[in-house]
């Protein structure tokens, strides 16, 4: 059924009304931060000399170590952020009204459009190498944190009611509730989304390690810089060495980190019957049988964690009623808040002046670009759903299929989509509308894994006793999908879809405006406008296009994903 213009207008107006005060506050803060970064960017050094990237294969272990350290640092920050942020949003309704809209805005921000501003702004404050390192960690953090936070929030809001009541009966304090209930319940989803976040982080790591802007060279020694330099010089042998090292690192992490974690987390499944074929890991079994590992655990790790556990139990003891913060502390907080508000208002006024320099014709281009990109995002999301649901369920429910496909999927998801994009362009640009198709394919390559890994996590978390029940009832395949699989997957589908769509919007920046064989190719889209504004240093247009993209994505989250989150929380708990 097609909507009339009036119906579409009423729906859009209703969506705008659904944007709470927190949504607008988050957008205003974002505009102020972008202006602050732009103000610093004008004061950055005009010439920055980058490092010399060697193509000697013997240097690859060091480059791999540098890249791995940046990824690990960003992941630890993302994990800490998600645990605190997601818990605050899940348990405090007042905080949720601010934190979740803010998270919607943050995950909607096209961080690749902010990379030049962040790098130039940090270069005006820190030395060159330090600024580039910090910006790389920030960029990877933004590719990992939002996915983990949505996953953790979804797990906390779908804990079965009887488990919550048990925790209340035993009067568990904050730490014990986290240790014995929340973390075990959300662990499976957290591990699979960690794998996805780590895989997605490679894409942004490569972008951060090869970034240059005019005469400013912000490259960093690492696998991304090595692969880029090898491609520029046309050294296919070096490209093969770089890709081989990257794939080896991905497989090693899968075997030594992710598979052992999956095997260990199987004990935390909410089920009454143990699985016939639980996940296994040779490295986990080796550690479990090792006398050295057992001795280290008994003499070092166990006493250390016991002391930490005792300290946290005492630290999170309920606060006595009537205890209030001191007056001095309250006055300091008010002064800091007043200073922050003043700085924010000044930055907002300057942002408005900056937006006033955008012409009506440019605003028209922004509107048309948003519509074109939204169409591509929708197509890529539908295509991803069509294949990730059956494949994800097969991997999550069959250990035999998982043993074969999981390493393949892990490697494919970790190989940056931008590394494959030039190969696709060789063939796609020759056909009519080739760049439009290439843009959808790049969005698909960069976002389909968010859906797949969430679906695998959801299928893997289905209790074995419910599988036995459907077998005893002799339900047909279609009935089993209708009554068990799809309802169990629904919360994970929502989490995967919201992060995948946000990633698709972000990927539009590199998908709709590309430079290939010394020639620039572009198609209509908001990502193309952002890329052009970044290249030309047109900060008013960059601010207008970025804020427009964020506003549209937040509106979609309010109209589509937020109601689906509520539906998952109310109807699809595993209880």
Q: Tens of pLDDT along 26-57?
A: 666 666 666 666 666 666 666 566 678 888 88
Position 367 scores a pLDDT of 92
Mean pLDDT on 66-80 = 93
Closest alpha carbon to 27 in 102, 80, 112: 102
- pLDDT grade for 3, boundaries at 50, 70 and 90: very low
pTM recorded for the entire structure: 0.72
Q: Which residues contact 293 (CB under 8 A, 6 or more apart)?
A: 287
- pLDDT grade for 494, boundaries at 50, 70 and 90: confident
Position 322 scores a pLDDT of 40
Position 450 scores a pLDDT of 83
Of the two residues 131 and 425, the one the predictor is more confident about is: 131
pLDDT digits 0-9 by tens, 291-306: 888 888 888 888 888 8
Position 375 scores a pLDDT of 92
- pLDDT grade for 6, boundaries at 50, 70 and 90: very low
Give yes or no for residue 347 having a pLDDT over 80.
Answer: no
Tokens of residue 457, six digits: 């996590």
Give yes or no for residue 7 having a pLDDT over 50.
Answer: no
Residue 569: CA atoms inside 13 Å, Cβ hemisphere, count? Answer: 14
Give yes or no for residue 207 having a pLDDT over 80.
Answer: no
Q: Which residues contact 10 (CB under 8 A, 6 or more apart)?
A: none
DSSP state of 521: E
- Cβ burial of 21 (10 Å; 0-12, 13-18, 19+) is exposed
Q: Are strands 519-522 and 513-516 parallel, antiparallel or unpaired?
A: antiparallel
Buried b (16+ CB within 10 A) or exposed e, 402-419: beebbbebbebbbbbbbb
Position 465 scores a pLDDT of 81
pLDDT over 70, % of the chain = 75
Q: From CA 39, how far away is CA 121, in angstroms rounded?
A: 8
Position 46 scores a pLDDT of 61
Give yes or no for residue 13 having a pLDDT over 50.
Answer: no
pLDDT digits 0-9 by tens, 351-404: 777 788 888 889 999 999 999 999 999 999 999 999 999 998 988 888 778 777
Q: Where are the domains of the chain?
A: 61-269+358-571, 281-315
Position 334 scores a pLDDT of 65
Task: Write down the H helix ranges in 124-280.
Answer: 128-157, 161-169, 174-177, 183-209, 223-232, 236-253, 259-265
**What is the greatest pairwise CA distance in the chain?**
73
Q: From CA 144, how far away is CA 164, in angstroms rounded?
A: 29
Position 2 scores a pLDDT of 40
Closest alpha carbon to 512 in 569, 459, 439, 404: 439
Q: Could you give the 3-state DSSP secondary structure of residue 216? A: strand
Q: Taking a C-beta distance cutoff of 8 angstroms, is the pair 533, 545 a contact?
A: yes
Give yes or no for residue 506 having a pLDDT over 60.
Answer: yes
Task: Write down the H helix ranges in 477-538.
Answer: 477-480, 486-511, 526-536
Give yes or no for residue 259 having a pLDDT over 80.
Answer: yes
Closest alpha carbon to 73 in 140, 142, 130: 140
pLDDT over 90, % of the chain = 10
Of the two residues 255 and 233, the one the predictor is more confident about is: 255
Give yes or no for residue 324 having a pLDDT over 60.
Answer: no
Closest alpha carbon to 553 in 499, 512, 509: 499
Position 337 scores a pLDDT of 63
- pLDDT grade for 328, boundaries at 50, 70 and 90: low
Position 69 scores a pLDDT of 93
Give yes or no for residue 75 having a pLDDT over 90.
Answer: yes
Mean pLDDT on 331-351 = 67
Report the chain's terminal Cα–Cα distance, integer Å: 37
- pLDDT grade for 77, boundaries at 50, 70 and 90: very high
Position 243 scores a pLDDT of 83
Of the two residues 217 and 249, the one the predictor is more confident about is: 249
pLDDT digits 0-9 by tens, 217-234: 778 898 888 887 887 777
Position 12 scores a pLDDT of 41
């Amino acid at each position: 059924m097609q909507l009339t213009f009036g119906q579409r207008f009423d729906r859009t107006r209703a969506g705008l009304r659904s944007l709470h005060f927190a949504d607008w506050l988050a957008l205003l803060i974002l505009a102020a931060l972008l202006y602050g970064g732009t103000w610093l960017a004008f004061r950055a050094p005009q010439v920055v000399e980058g490092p010399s990237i060697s193509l000697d294969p013997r240097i690859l272990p060091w480059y791999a170590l540098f890249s791995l350290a940046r990824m690990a640092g960003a992941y630890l920050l993302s994990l800490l952020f998600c645990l605190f942020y997601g818990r605050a949003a899940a348990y405090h309704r007042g905080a949720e009204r601010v934190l979740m809209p803010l998270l919607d805005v943050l995950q909607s921000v096209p961080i690749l459009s902010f990379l030049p501003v962040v790098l130039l702004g940090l270069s005006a404050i820190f030395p060159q190498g330090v600024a580039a390192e910090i910006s790389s960690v920030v960029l990877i953090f933004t590719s990992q944190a939002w996915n983990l936070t949505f996953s953790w929030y979804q797990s906390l809001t779908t804990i079965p009611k009887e488990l919550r009541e048990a925790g209340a009966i035993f009067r568990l304090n904050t730490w014990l509730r986290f240790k014995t209930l929340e973390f075990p319940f959300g662990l499976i989803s957290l591990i699979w989304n960690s794998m996805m976040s780590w895989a997605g982080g490679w894409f942004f790591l490569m972008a951060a390690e090869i970034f240059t802007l005019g005469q400013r060279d912000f490259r960093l020694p690492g696998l991304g810089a090595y692969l880029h330099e090898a491609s520029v010089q046309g050294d296919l042998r070096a490209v093969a060495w770089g890709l081989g090292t990257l794939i080896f690192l991905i497989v090693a992490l899968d075997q030594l980190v992710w598979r052992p974690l999956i095997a260990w987390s199987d004990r935390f499944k909410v089920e009454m019957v143990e699985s016939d074929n639980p996940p296994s890991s040779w490295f986990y079994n080796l550690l479990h049988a090792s006398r050295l590992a057992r001795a280290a655990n008994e003499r070092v790790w166990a006493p250390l964690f016991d002391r930490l556990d005792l300290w946290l139990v005492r630290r999170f003891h309920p606060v006595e009623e009537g205890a209030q913060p001191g007056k001095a502390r309250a006055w300091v907080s008010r002064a800091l808040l007043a200073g922050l508000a003043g700085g924010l208002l000044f930055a907002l006024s300057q942002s408005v002046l900056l937006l006033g320099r955008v012409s009506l014709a440019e605003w028209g281009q922004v509107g048309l670009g948003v519509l074109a990109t939204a169409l591509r995002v929708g197509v890529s999301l539908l295509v991803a759903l069509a294949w990730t649901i059956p494949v994800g369920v097969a991997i999550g429910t069959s250990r035999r299929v998982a043993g074969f496909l999981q390493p393949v999927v892990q490697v494919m998801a970790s190989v940056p989509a931008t590394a494959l994009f030039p190969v696709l362009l060789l063939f796609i640009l020759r056909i009519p509308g080739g760049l439009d198709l290439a843009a959808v394919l790049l969005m698909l390559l960069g976002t389909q894994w968010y859906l797949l890994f969430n679906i695998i996590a959801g299928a893997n978390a289905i209790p074995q006793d419910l599988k036995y029940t459907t077998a005893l009832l002799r339900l047909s395949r279609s009935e089993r999908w209708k009554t068990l699989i799809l309802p169990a997957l629904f919360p994970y589908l929502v989490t995967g879809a919201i992060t995948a769509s946000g990633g698709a919007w972000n990927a539009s920046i590199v998908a709709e405006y590309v430079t290939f064989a010394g020639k620039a190719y572009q198609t209509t889209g908001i990502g193309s406008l952002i890329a052009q504004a970044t290249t030309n240093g047109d900060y008013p247009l960059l601010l207008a296009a970025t804020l427009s993209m964020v506003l549209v994505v937040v509106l979609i989250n309010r109209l589509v994903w937020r109601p689906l989150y509520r539906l998952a929380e109310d109807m699809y708990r595993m209880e």
